[in-house]
Chain A
């Protein structure tokens, strides 16, 4: 610890989970995240944990239900099609209020799509995917260092709110290498799982049922009301973003997360070199989404541009934040392609009429 090492994204995500105290991993192979389960299959036995290659993502997510319900730190990782298969189970986990971490190393869709990176699961991650009124905390790191820090945070957030947390990265982040440092996470006061997890009947002095069924409408409505109160609390306390080059005189505000935020960062510098004043709002949490900074855009701002590796998903949140006070534009590439710096610069100039 405390020493910088060069690591591949997927392995950094996996090691961060181990250092966060995750001792149970269930998963099914899918590109481009295979280094995560492979790393876990090596590392978990070393630290007295359990690695299990499940028969499918459907089984995987229900294994998370079982392990989380027993009160242990558990995670899985997958990529887009696998996350779709997990969606039913994610709804059950959210409904039963079980803590766990789910990593989605996104690839290009729809369908089998391709194994190259994409960002087209944003709506699935932030708007459901599964059925019913539930929310996942969705963390969208922009660097591998931030990914490590957020994975460690993810386990605490999951325990704190008894809610599944998704770490949403794209295939570039999973496959790239960067220098990183593992810092011991700050210790949080977390609720005692023995109060609700199975297997502590004696300690608790009574039984527990980890369940989601509620045949009567009123108790189910009440359960939903409680969940919504929790989600409002998360929105209040856990929303994160970075403002980059958002000077008082910016004309164009770009919005991007993950890999595209790195491309936008380079584009902003290129634009600045040409005297064009642009900045970036980078969501670090996709849910809850940082709507606030969009309410406080400087008067100099003329337009907003969302950049994604999708056909336009996060831009829907940007529009909600901007609330029609500025024109919102979108530039995206998909299919496994990423926007280039030149393309983003060009799009920015067109919007500003330069």
Chain B
């Protein structure tokens, strides 16, 4: 019988296991980026900017040139890198605490200037690395280590819809929200990441892909329950959709 290779590790991914918890979807998002980098053939000119958060060590898994930015500032770092080297493909990878709380100013202004960068935004509705505190994206009534009675909008406001908010701006070229909790979502997520990178490469403006992700450890649920929670609780609040596509 002839052997047919139907799946392999992306060339730009190291052969190591990750530090992520069981059921965490950071690893899937990493892999999708690596696959897109390989398919576009840009390993030699792609530069990533790692965030502060669980995924700060993303550079241990994807074989590219990287920066490791201060908490929330990845879009500023990426902006300057791209301005200095327009020939590079520059992207950030950021969590929801990083991007939508401490780094809100940087992401809004990078988007509004139409920086030719791509942003992979991991929305897991919680602060993973610091132990499960409330994030700007935490759902109403969701219990976290700093909303022990559930998120109360009177005290802590509402979950921020980053993709919708940035879509009100004129400059961004591509903005989409996807998920990676089931194969049907993963296929679309990869397409979105590819479109985001192409938006940059074709000089069509700023691009961002928001990825609804899991954090079973800090949500206090099993990996399977976390997958269901994304579908049942998060997607209704954060609809999956392309909000902006280049003309």
Binding site for B on A (CB under 8 A): 24, 26, 50, 52, 54-56, 58-60, 62-67, 69-72, 74, 88-89, 92, 198-202, 207-213
Which of B67, B70, B83 is in CB contact (< 8 Å) with A50?
A: B83
In the complex, B73 has a CB within 8 A of chain A: yes
Cβ of A59 and Cβ of B76 under 8 Å apart? yes
A209 touches B83 (CB 8 A): no
Name the contact of B106 in the complex, choosing from A50, A59, A69, A207 (C-beta under 8 A). Answer: A59
- A contact residues around B113 at 8 Å (CB): 52
Which of B68, B81, B83, B85 has a CB less than 8 Å from the CB of A52? B83
Chain B residue at minimal CB-CB distance from A65: B77
Q: Which of B50, B65, B70, B78 contacts A207 (CB 8 A)?
A: B65
Which residue of the partner chain B has the closest CB to A212? B68
Residues of B within 8 A of A207 (CB): 63-66
Residue on A nearest B70 in the bound complex, by CB: A92
- B106 near A55 (CB under 8 angstroms)? yes
CB distance from B61 to the nearest CB of A (A): 12
The CA of A212 and the CA of B67, in the complex, are separated in Å by: 9
Chain B's nearest CB lies how many Å from the CB of A35?
A: 23
Is A62 a contact of B68 with CB atoms below 8 Å?
no
Contact present for A66 and B79 (CB under 8 Å): yes
CA A64 to CA B81, docked complex, whole Å: 9
Give the shortest distance, in Å, between B56 (CB) and chain A (any CB). Answer: 6
Q: Is B109 engaged at the interface, CB distance under 8 Å to the other chain?
A: yes
Given contacts A201-B44, A202-B44, A213-B56, are A64 and B80 in contact (CB under 8 A)? yes
Which 10 interchain pairs have the tightest Cβ spacing? A66-B80, A211-B68, A62-B76, A62-B73, A66-B77, A67-B80, A63-B80, A55-B109, A198-B65, A70-B84
User: What's the Cα separation between A62 and B78 when bound, in Å?
Assistant: 9
Contact B80 A70 (CB under 8 A): yes
Q: Is the CB of B106 within 8 A of A62?
A: yes
> Is B11 an interface residue, CB under 8 A from the partner?
no
Q: Are A50 and B84 in contact (CB under 8 A)?
A: yes
- Measured CB to CB, the nearest residue on chain A to B88 is A199
Q: Can you list 12 A-B contacts (CB < 8 A)?
A: A24-B83, A55-B108, A66-B67, A72-B84, A92-B70, A198-B66, A199-B45, A199-B47, A199-B88, A200-B65, A201-B44, A207-B63
* B59 on interface, CB distance cutoff 8 Å: yes
Interface residues on B, range: 20 to 34
Question: In whole angstroms, how far apart are the Cα atoms of A25 and B83 in the complex?
Answer: 11
In the assembled complex, how far is the CB of residue A347 from the closest CB belonging to chain B, in whole angstroms?
A: 44
Cβ 8 A contact of B81, one of A54, A58, A67, A211: A67
In the assembled complex, which residues on chain B have CB atoms less than 8 Å from the CB atom of A63?
76-77, 79-80
Interface centre among A65, A66, A69, A92 (most CB of B within 10 A): A66
User: Is B201 positioned at the interface, with any CB of A under 8 Å from its CB?
Assistant: no
CA distance A58 to B109 in the complex (A): 12
CB-contacts of B29-43 with A (<8 A)? 43
Taking a contact as CB atoms closer than 8 A, the residue among A54, A60, A62, A209 that contacts B70 in the complex is A62
Tell whether B69 is near chain A: CB-to-CB under 8 Å. yes
Nearest Cβ distance between residue A314 and chain B, in whole angstroms? 30
In the bound complex, CA of A209 to CA of B44 (Å):
14
- CB pair A59 B109 closer than 8 Å: yes
The answer on a CB contact under 8 Å between B76 and A210 is no
Once A and B bind, how many residue pairs between them come within 8 Å at the CB atom?
118
Chain B residue at minimal CB-CB distance from A211: B68
Known: A66-B79, A199-B45, A207-B66. 6 other contacts (CB 8 A): A59-B105, A66-B67, A69-B77, A88-B70, A201-B43, A207-B63
- Taking CB atoms, residues of chain B closer than 8 Å to A58 are 73, 76, 105-106
Q: Which residue of B lies closest to A92 (CB)?
A: B70
Question: With A55-B106, A59-B73 known to touch, is A67 a contact of B67 (CB < 8 Å)?
Answer: no
- Give A207 to B67 CA distance when docked, in angstroms: 11
Q: How far is the CA of A32 from the CA of B77 in the complex (A)?
A: 26
Identify which of residues 62-110 in chain B touch chain A, using a CB-to-CB cut-off of 8 Å. 63-70, 73, 76-81, 83-85, 87-88, 105-106, 108-109
Contact B83 A67, beta carbon cutoff 8 Å:
yes
Per the 8 Å Cβ criterion, residues 1-53 of B in contact with A are: 43-45, 47, 49-50
How many Å lie between the Cα of A228 and that of B185 in the bound state?
50
Which residue of chain A has its CB nearest to the CB of B69?
A62
Select from chain B the residue with minimum beta-carbon distance to A52.
B83
A66 near B78 with CB under 8 A, answer yes
A27 CB → nearest B CB, Å: 12
List chain A residues, Cβ under 8 A from B106: 55, 58-59, 62
Contacts of A199 in B (CB 8 A): 45, 47, 65, 81, 85, 87-88
CA distance A60 to B85 in the complex (A): 17
User: How far is the CB of B119 from the nearest CB of chain A, in Å?
Assistant: 14
Report chain A residues within 8 Å CB of B69: 62, 65
With most chain B CB atoms within 10 A of its CB, the pick from A24, A52, A56, A65 is A65
